[in-house]
Structures are given as structure tokens and as C-alpha cells.
Structure 1
Amino acid sequence: MAEFMTETEQRSPAVPHPGTAGERRGRTGDADAGQAGGHPERHPEARLEGQEAVALLERTRTLVDPELRAALESLPGSMRRIALYHFGWQHADGTPARGNAGKAIRPALVLAAATALGGPAGRTAAVRAAVAVELVHNFTLLHDDVMDRDASRRHRPTAWTVFGTADAILAGDALQALALRMLAEDPHPASGPAAARLADCVVELCAGQHTDVDMERRAPGEVTLDEVLAMAEAKTGALLGCACALGALYAGADGEDVAALDGFGRQAGLAFQLIDDVIGIWGDPRRTGKPAGADLAARKKSLPVVAALSSGTEAAAELAELYDEPYVSGDAEGIVRTALAVERAGGRDWAQAEAADRMARAVQELSRAVPAPEAAGGLLALAEFVTRRSG
């Protein structure tokens, strides 16, 4: 489930490195400093935005983690153990661990949106909403790992490989229930509308995942670019949009501003997914923790692949033939050939250009609700942070 899942750098199925396929082109977006996926380290403005985003993420963890851990501790013993393991706070035997609980991008968006529209008071009021969004996100991760049979997340075995499929699914269900309980018990006047919006988001996530599973059963030529874009918005953009919308609700924003923040998150989420899909093919395994070409080995109909298949070129025909055949374990040369076919058919260039366009749309949506650049700074920094990744 790729919000159900997008965090490519956290997943590590065993596929060989495709060698120089990515190296010939360089990192994502090298040709254009302003293009999503470019090198933050080469552009001072982007570097400053990255520093601001990292600081925001660290502050978010400080604010959110105590409430999040308290929520997890309220679970029954068996569910609590799996959840704490998944977040990296316990080892499989139940002893304490100091693991990686994730970047906290979605709760950071909740707090940044609340700050942009309501100031520091808005941020403080929205902490429980931020926790709820993080719980829903991790519900999708637990289910995603089961559905994709991923063996590793955050550089450790996935919960289902340790505790079994059924227990991992049930732990994910428990996290979703916790999220809604967090909002139901919150006395803030926005908690009711926020709970309804988050529930609607979960339904949209599940519908997007259902579409994705259906697409994987279809022949490469039967999936259109419009379909895969709509699916990506449901699976990835929906929760980022919901996170921003919940922050706006907790800041007391009106309906138009809430809708604008939702639109901002959705468009930024699509840009995120586009870059994530590029990294899934050409990313540097030393930075991603995932061997490059894993998505190609799995024959995933990612955005660059579908764009390439839709190009009507000779390379598209070659790619369709390659995708018609299952991946043979250890066939590094086949992965290189497939990645080159996607690139020659224009899939990589299209994905990078589309990501830049989606970010421009996100900024336009944000300006409707938060016209002052200084107020919008946190949201923009987070959006740039997740879409300027190069691996």
C-alpha cells in the first residue's frame, strides 16, 4: 500500500544494483537546479530550506513522541509489543531500543499548517491531531509490508516477518483505531470535523490501494497515465493533504483555507511520489537503503514506467516486452536494460518535469490560504525537503 507507501529509503527487497544506469545520468534533477529532485547541497537556498525542514522535523518529534508513546502504551500487551517494535522503540523480545521511528513528515505538516494559520497557539493545540495522522500513516505501513511481502523497513525486519502476518495486520488495525480515539477524546472544537476528515482519508487510501493492486494484475499496456496519477493522489497525496487540512482546522481556518491546504498537501504529495518513483529506479543504494531497480524487478507500474510505456516509442515497445516477462533473481543486466528502456522512452524526464509542475501547483494552492511568505515558510520547507531528495 504505498501511503500505503512512499518511503522508498526505508524498504530493502533483495535486488541487484543496476550498475551505471543511474550514474550515467547523475542524481535526480542535475540539469535543473530548481527541478524537484535536484541537489540541495549545490544550491544555498535549498540547503537553508533543508536545514529549516530538519529543525521542524526534530521539533515535531519532541512534541509528538510523548503523546504517541502514551497512545501505544494504552494498547493491549500483544498489540503494544508489535507497535513499539514497528516504531523502533522495542526489540522483538520486548527490551527497549533506540530505533528509527521515521521522519515524522506528516505530523510536521499538521503542526506547520496550524502554525501558518494560527501561530504558536495553533501548533500547540494540534499536537493530538498530528499524533493521529502519524498513527494512520503507520497503520498503512504495517499493512503495506504484508501486502508487498517486504522483509525490511527502517533497517530492521518488518513486523510481519517477526510476529507473523495476522498479528501485523491486527496491530495496524489497532493503530487506526487509536488515531480516531485520539481525536474523539480531544476537547478541541475542531476534533469532530478532523476525525471525519481523517476517516474519509483512510477510505480514500484504501480505494487507492485497491486500484493499485488491480493495476498490478493488468498487462503493461492496459494501464493509463491518468489512472496511475489518480491512484498516486489517493495513496500518497491524500494523507499529506489531510495532514495539512487538519492543521488548518485546528487553527480555526474557514472552509476555503482548509481546502487550499488540502490541495497544497495533495500536490506536494504527488511531487513526492514522482520523485520517490524515480529513486525507486535510479536511486543510490548507499543513500536509500534499497537496491536500485527494485521497483523494476517487481514489475511495478510506477509513474515513470507508465509514462514510458505510453510514449509510443521503440523504447516503449522494448519496455513492454521486458515487463511481460517475470524478473529472474540475480539478473542485474536485465534490470539495467529495463532502466535504460524507461529512460530512453522519456519516463525519467517526464517524471522530473511533472514533479516540478506539481510543486508549482502546490505553492499556488498554499498562496490562496497563506499569502505571506514568512508564514508559509515551514510548509514550503517541508515540501521542498521531501521533493528535493536525490536518493
Structure 2
Amino acid sequence: MTAVSSAGPAAVSVPGVLERCRELVRPALAEAVGRLHPWVGEMAGYAFGWCEVGGAPAAASGGKGLRQALAVLGAEAAGADGRDGAAAAVAVELVHTFSLLHDDIMDGDGMRRGRPAVWKAYGTGPAVLAGDALFALAVETLAAAPGGAGTLRRLSAALSDLLHGQADDLLFAARPWTGPERVRPEAYRTMAERKTGALLGCAAALGALLGGAPPATADALDRAGRHLGVAFQIVDDILGLWGDPAVTGKPVHADLRERKKTFPVLAALDTAGPAARHLAVRLASDADPAETAALIETAGGRSAALAEARRHLEAAGTALSGVPLRAPAAAALHALPAFVLERIR
């Protein structure tokens, strides 16, 4: 197996890779969703962007497909056909969508990818049911794959991490902005690795295992995916404060209005300078969100968040460079970190 550790991102079209992997996984994902109760399947199809309420076909965005790509590329990097990673891609995508359905309810987010979230479109109870069904379907899908109990244990561990991260994220909301009980950036990193990174790492690792890779390679891909996930979450935070709603699909400053403990805010408060003290006062009031976002940038929150995202993307590349991976999948994996940062340019 040939090691590839320095493939340049310029040699790879990441959007093309994501599209190829989505197209490869889509039939298996559609087949799995087709086994659900028709009404639940419709809600799942709506969540994936395949249909409108009522079942009419839709052309809505179903997301970038990063988890699907990691699973397919993990299998290909192990020397197998990308289709060998399809079961991993389907299982992780089902778990991810389950988490989004419940996450939107818990956070009260009424929009997802530019249109009403499932709970807004169908109701809270149906959305919870659809999420539960997707989780059960993920376990069933992976159990039927030839990876054995080891793949299910890895998915279960990732899900446990995801739930821990979600619990921390919810608890953060009740903690103060300042004082000894405040949320520190390092606590955020742990939360983000669990809530976002665990599934990205799991996708790559499961794809590699189903492709025949040894556990050490799967573990390295898991680490890379976790670092990628932390960076991805921080970039999402940056977009939530300074992004274009037409691109993100969510209203700008929504996180500020909901008093969410995002990394740019926590990093700005951690500077302890005059701007940070002014920011703490504003966060405790109903100040204009646009002015608060500007103050976060002045206090160094945006630059600190970018630096932290870059640090984790470099760590992801280091993890990938430590194991032998087959080309051209290795080049595509190495190109993903630059693509994550490209979202905020």
C-alpha cells in the first residue's frame, strides 16, 4: 500500500469529490429510507432535501455530504472500491440526520438549509419519531454489513460521544458569560469534538474498516475526522456571526440572539481586555446583535477562531500523514481541510 502524505489540495476538486461520493451513496441511502414507514420515509426524504411536504420531488440542498465522502474515501484509501464504504456512509448519514432533527427541536431552530426544519414542517412529535426511526435504521444497516461487531461498537462509541457533546452544548446555555463558572474555550473544544467530530471520525474509520484496513489506520482516520469536525464547528460559528444567510441557510446572528456559547465569543471573552469586558456587558443585555458581532471581532474573537480552526486542520493532516493510504483517495482526504476553510472566504 502506497503512503501519500503531501498531496496538494490544488490537485483535487473537493466539490467534485463530494458530488461523486454523494452519487455513489445515494442509491443505498434511498434503499434504506425506502424500508421505513411511508410517512416516516417522507419526513426523512424531506430532511435529505429529496422532497417537499407531501412527497413532491424537490431540488433542495441535502448538505455537502462530508460524512459520506469520508466513508467512501476511507474505503478507497484502504485499497477497496468506494462502494465497500457505502454501508458506513449510509449508517453515519442516518445518525447525523437523526441528530439534526432532534437538535433543531432542542435549539428551537425553525430553519434548516434554507427551508423549514422538519419539526416546523411536520410537527414536533412526528420529527422526534422520524429521528428515532433513522437511528434504528442506521444500526440495522451497519449490522447487515460484513464488518462484524467491531463496526457497531465504533458507531455506538461515536453516538455516545455525540450525545455527551449535545448535553454539554445544552448545559452551556445556562452557564454565565463571566466568572469561575463560565465556559472556557477548552471546554468548547471537547464539546465540539464530541458533537461534530465524533461522527466525521467514525465515518472515515468505518469506511476504512469495511475496506479492509487495519485498526491502526482506522484509528488515525478517526483522529483526523475528529480534528476536522472541531474545525468545521468553529467555521460554522464564524459563519453564524459573519456569514451570508443566502449561503448558510440560517439567519445571521441567530446564535447571538439565542445566547449560544460559540467559540468566537468565548475566545473574545477569554482575552480579558477592555473590549472583552465591554462585550460581557453587552451579552448580558438585549444589545443590537450586529454591534455585538463587531465587538467580538474587535476583541479578537474572529481571529482566534480562525487560528483555532487552522490548528485543528493541521492536526487532521498530521494524523493522515502518519499511516499508509492509497492514492488518489489520500489526495482527496488531504484536500478536505482547505475546503473547510474555503467556506468562510
TM-score (norm 1): 0.81
Relative to 1, partners in 2 of residues 1:287 and 1:156: Cα closer, same or farther, differing over 3 Å?
Answer: closer
Structure 1 residue 46: Cα displacement: 5.6
2:323 matched residue in structure 1: 369
Q: Structure 1 vs Structure 2: percent identity of aligned residues?
A: 44
Which residue, 178, 196, 204 being the options, matches 2:153? 196
Q: RMSD value over aligned CA atoms?
A: 1.8
2:97 and 2:307 mapped to 1: Cα distance?
Answer: 30
1:78 matched residue in structure 2: 39
1:168 matched residue in structure 2: 127
Q: Does 2:162 match 1:205?
A: yes
Which residue, 160, 164, 172 being the options, matches 1:215? 172
Map 1:1-391 onto structure 2 (within 5 A): 49=12, 52-119=13-80, 121=81, 123-186=82-145, 188=146, 190-221=147-178, 222-326=182-286, 334-370=288-324, 374-390=328-344
1:314 and 1:177 mapped to 2: Cα distance?
Answer: 51
2:329 and 2:69 mapped to 1: Cα distance?
Answer: 15
> Deviations 1:266-297 (Å, cap 9, x if unpaired)?
11111111211111111123432333322222
Contact 1:280-1:292 within 8 A present in 2 as well: yes
Contact 2:32-2:137 within 8 A present in 1 as well: yes
Relative to 1, partners in 2 of residues 1:240 and 1:61: Cα closer, same or farther, differing over 3 Å?
Answer: same
Structure 1 residue 164: Cα displacement: 0.9
1:273 and 1:346 mapped to 2: Cα distance?
Answer: 18
Contact 1:183-1:192 within 8 A present in 2 as well: no
Relative to 1, partners in 2 of residues 1:48 and 1:290: Cα closer, same or farther, differing over 3 Å?
Answer: farther
Which amino acid is 1:173 matched to? D
Structure 1 residue 151: Cα displacement: 1.5
2:343 and 2:323 mapped to 1: Cα distance?
Answer: 26
1:112 and 1:371 mapped to 2: Cα distance?
Answer: 10
1:214 and 1:289 mapped to 2: Cα distance?
Answer: 25
2:250 and 2:329 mapped to 1: Cα distance?
Answer: 36
Structure 1 residue 236: Cα displacement: 0.9
Structure 1 residue 99: Cα displacement: 2.9
- Partner of 1:369, secondary structure, is coil
2:273 and 2:156 mapped to 1: Cα distance?
Answer: 43
- Partner of 1:108, secondary structure, is helix
Structure 1 residue 336: Cα displacement: 2.3
Which amino acid is 1:344 matched to? T
Structure 1 residue 64: Cα displacement: 1.0
Please say which of residues 75-84 and 62-71 is displaced more in the overlay.
75-84
Structure 1 residue 212: Cα displacement: 0.7
Relative to 1, partners in 2 of residues 1:375 and 1:95: Cα closer, same or farther, differing over 3 Å?
Answer: closer
> Which ranges in structure 1 are unaligned for 5 or more consecutive residues?
1-44, 328-333
Relative to 1, partners in 2 of residues 1:182 and 1:86: Cα closer, same or farther, differing over 3 Å?
Answer: same
The number of aligned residues is: 335
Relative to 1, partners in 2 of residues 1:344 and 1:98: Cα closer, same or farther, differing over 3 Å?
Answer: closer
Contact 1:106-1:243 within 8 A present in 2 as well: yes
2:5 matched residue in structure 1: none
Relative to 1, partners in 2 of residues 1:154 and 1:289: Cα closer, same or farther, differing over 3 Å?
Answer: closer
